[in-house]
Structures are given as C-alpha cells and as structure tokens.
Amino acid sequence: MKAKPVQAHAKIYFSVVLTAVTWLYPATAAQAKPQVVPSTNAVIARTRTDSAAQGQLILSENAKRWVQFQALRREWLIQRGATSSITEMSMLEPYQKIIAMGDRIVPLILAQIKREGDEPDQWFWALRVLTGANPVRPEDQGDFRAMAQAWIQWGATKESLEYAG
C-alpha cells in the first residue's frame, strides 16, 4: 500500500485560513466584530488594544476536531509503519486517542474513508467501537473496499445527519 500525500489538505486549509486572517485584519482595527470564513468554518474576531489592533482566530468546534483528528491520523500512520497487524495498529496510542474523541468523530472518519477511495485504511475497528454498529456483511469481512462501502452507505442512511460525513 503506497502512502498518499495527506498533508496537501492540511496545507490548503491553513493557507486559506492564513490568507483570510491577513485580508480580514487591516493595519488598524475597528470595534470587535466577528466574521465567519465560510470555507473553513472559522470565526475571525477583531479586537482592539490600546497600543495596536490585534486579531484572534477562533476555530469552530468542528474545525478544531478536524485538525486534531488529522494530526492524530498522521501520528498513527508514522507509528504503525508497515505493520499489517490490525490488532497492533488499533492499539497504538494515536488510534486510541481518536476513539477517545467520541462519536462526534464518526463523520470525520467516514469522510476520511471516502477520501481514501480504493485503498481504505483500518478505520473499521474505531467505527464499530464508536457506533456499536457493524454494517459489514460476513462475506465482505477482509475485503477493505467492500467494508468501506458498507460503512459509507451506513453513514449515508442514518436518520440523523450526524454520521452522514
């Protein structure tokens, strides 16, 4: 399995945020006025101090969760190396920290599986633990593409949009 250039999404995201921050903060700031940067779900709050105008970037909870998830995912990829043991992979600390983030991380995992396309990673254990569900048919066990499809379909058919990714 070849490594994918996962850092591209993070670079684009932070580039957009930094561009937005630079453009939303003139040399002198007016009164405090929050602004939402739509593409990033970030809120930019303008503040003024006595000496100079300063700005503060406030990320939404979803954006913070996405950044934390991506950092843990990268750490997990590095720590696991070329191991093929699902048990060893799922017991690594970054993977366990992802699970510890709770069921609000499920949409991010499902979105990650979609991004991985034909080479889905080992997110199935985390999804089972977090959701209590197992939409994978017994005959599809071990077929990662079929397993990924089952989870994506499961997420899309949930009555609540919280798992729709």
Q: What is the pLDDT of residues 36-68, one digit of tens each?
A: 444 444 444 444 444 444 556 666 888 889 999
Contact between residue 163 and residue 155 where contact means Cβ atoms under 8 Å apart: yes
Q: How many domains does the chain have?
A: 2
Farthest-apart Cα atoms in the chain, separation:
68
Question: So what's the pLDDT on residue 144?
Answer: 94
Confidence of residue 130 (pLDDT cuts 50, 70, 90): very high
Q: Residue 76 pLDDT more than 70?
A: yes
Q: Please say which residue of 34, 59, 84 terminates a domain.
A: 59
Last residue of a domain, one of 21, 39, 59: 59
Answer yes or no: do 51 and 67 share one domain: no
Cβ pair 56, 79 in contact under 8 A:
no
47 shares its domain with 119: no
Structure letter (DSSP) for residue 4: P
Render pLDDT for 84-118 as a digit per residue (tens, 0 to 9). 888 898 999 999 999 999 999 999 999 999 999 99
C-alpha pair distances (Å), 97 with each of 105, 106, 110, 114: 11, 13, 17, 21
The predicted pLDDT at position 63 comes to 87
- As given in the structure block, the two tokens for residue 112 are 């990650």
Nearest of 57, 46, 61 to residue 18 by alpha carbon: 57
Angle 53-58-61 from CA coordinates, rounded to 5°: 175
* Residues spanned by the domain of 36: 7-59
Shared domain check, 72 and 49: no
